[in-house]
């Protein structure tokens, strides 16, 4: 059995698989003590090899574990995961809590090129989380809420803080909140769209990472780039990184 653990800024996922067959998956919020959360996820499991990915990937090595531990970046992990789930995939879009990545794949699922957002949180899960606050809507319900909109005003700002200000002032002007919410989602898609073009977007595109659970972003992405045949979304898109890491664990073990 081979393990992959993806320690992101918001949540941590754990996958156990062998030969591509997933036998266990679990998720916990990362919280302020990611190490504790890792321990909880790993408890009672003893993979032959564990590979960590995500922001906390170096952290796992500090745990005293009775099996070998390696680390790869989220970029490689998502590429591997996406390729295993959708072997035809040519591009991966991963929108996580703090980072957005666009990755161009070769036919074996290797990374040819990638782009990642700069320091700021524009166009990431954090952006949506932050702006959802303005509407006092839970992040899980923010997508469905935005889908109620139909006349989105233009939100110019990409900056999380300024976008919030813009949203507030639009509200003060009497614009329907659902429309503003939709506009905010649109600005995320606009931003990721240009990142995808920079790596040389080719289809099929795999959309992974936590934000892929957001129905509004999914719809907008389809509108922008075409239908279901060109954009693939995994059943549990937030598991893709951990799954990719576990696949790499198997590769390392057999090497």
Partner 1 sequence: MSDAAHTEMWEKLNLDISAHEGLLEVLGKFYGDIYLSQENRLNGMEYLDFVLSEVHGLRIKEIQDAKATGKKVIGTFCVFVPEELTLAANAIHVGLCSGADAGTDEAEKLVPRNTCALIKSFIGFKLARICPFTESCDLVVGETTCDGKKKAYEAFGKLVPMHVMEVPQTKTTDAKQLFKAEVLRYKEALEELTGVKITVENLRKSISVVNEKRKALQRLSRLRAADPAPISGRDALLINQVSFYDEPERFTQSINTLCDQIEERIAQGGGVVPAGTKRLLLSGCPMAVPNWKLPYVMESSNAVIVGEESCIGSRNVRDLVDDSADTIEGMLDALVDRYMKIDCACFTPNDERMVNVQNMVKDLNADGVVHYALSFCQPYAHEAIKLQDVLSQKGIPMLSVETGYSMEDVEQLKTRVEAFVEMLD
Residues numbered 177 to 236 that lie near partner 1 (CB under 8 A) are: none
Interface with partner 1 includes 69 (CB under 8 A)?
Answer: no
CA-to-CA separations, 210 to 88, 150, 166, 188, 232, in angstroms, rounded: 22, 24, 25, 14, 14
Cβ of 252: how many Cβ atoms within 10 Å?
A: 16
Q: Which residue shows structure tokens 């977007």?
A: 201
Neighbour order of strands in the sheet with 91-95 = 111-116, 100-105, 91-95, 205-208, 231-233
**Least separation, in Å, of the C-beta of 100 and partner 1?**
12
Using the minimum distance from each CB to partner 1, give the nearer residue, 120 or 175: 120
14 close to 2: Cβ distance less than 8 angstroms: no
125 close to 211: Cβ distance less than 8 angstroms: yes
**Least separation, in Å, of the C-beta of 44 and partner 1?**
30
Question: Using CB under 8 A, which of the segments 24-32, 61-69, 70-78, 216-224 binds partner 1?
Answer: 70-78
CA distance 116 to 41: 28
**Which of 69, 75, 92, 167 touches partner 1 (CB under 8 A)?**
75
Site size toward partner 1, by CB under 8 A = 14
**Which of 1, 26, 111, 252 touches partner 1 (CB under 8 A)?**
111
Question: Using CB under 8 A, which of the segments 24-32, 68-76, 157-165, 189-197 binds partner 1?
Answer: 68-76
Interface with partner 1 includes 127 (CB under 8 A)?
Answer: no
**Which of 16, 60, 72, 128 touches partner 1 (CB under 8 A)?**
72
């Amino acid at each position: 059995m081979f393990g992959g653990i993806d320690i992101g800024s918001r949540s941590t996922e754990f996958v156990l698989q062998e030969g591509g067959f997933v036998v266990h998956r679990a998720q916990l919020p990362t919280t302020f003590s990611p190490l504790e959360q890792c321990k909880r996820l790993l408890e009672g499991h003893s993979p032959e090899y564990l590979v960590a990915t995500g922001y906390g990937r170096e952290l796992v090595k500090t745990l005293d574990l009775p099996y070998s531990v390696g680390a790869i970046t989220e970029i490689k992990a998502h590429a591997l995961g996406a390729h295993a789930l959708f072997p035809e995939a040519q591009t991966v879009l991963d929108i996580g809590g703090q980072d957005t990545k666009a990755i161009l794949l070769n036919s074996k699922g290797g990374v040819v090129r990638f782009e990642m957002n700069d320091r700021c949180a524009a166009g990431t899960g954090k952006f949506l989380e932050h702006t959802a606050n303005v509407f006092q809507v839970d992040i899980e319900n923010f997508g469905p809420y935005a889908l109620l909109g139909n006349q989105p005003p233009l939100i110019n700002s990409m900056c999380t803080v300024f976008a919030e200000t813009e949203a507030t002032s639009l509200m003060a002007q009497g614009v329907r909140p659902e429309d503003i919410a939709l506009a905010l989602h649109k600005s995320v898609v606009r931003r990721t769209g240009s990142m995808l073009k920079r790596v040389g977007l080719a289809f099929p595109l795999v959309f992974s990472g936590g934000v892929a659970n957001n129905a509004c972003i999914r719809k907008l992405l389809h509108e922008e780039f075409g239908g279901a045949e060109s954009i693939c979304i995994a059943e549990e898109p937030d598991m893709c990184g951990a799954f990719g890491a576990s696949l790499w664990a198997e590769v390392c073990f057999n090497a």
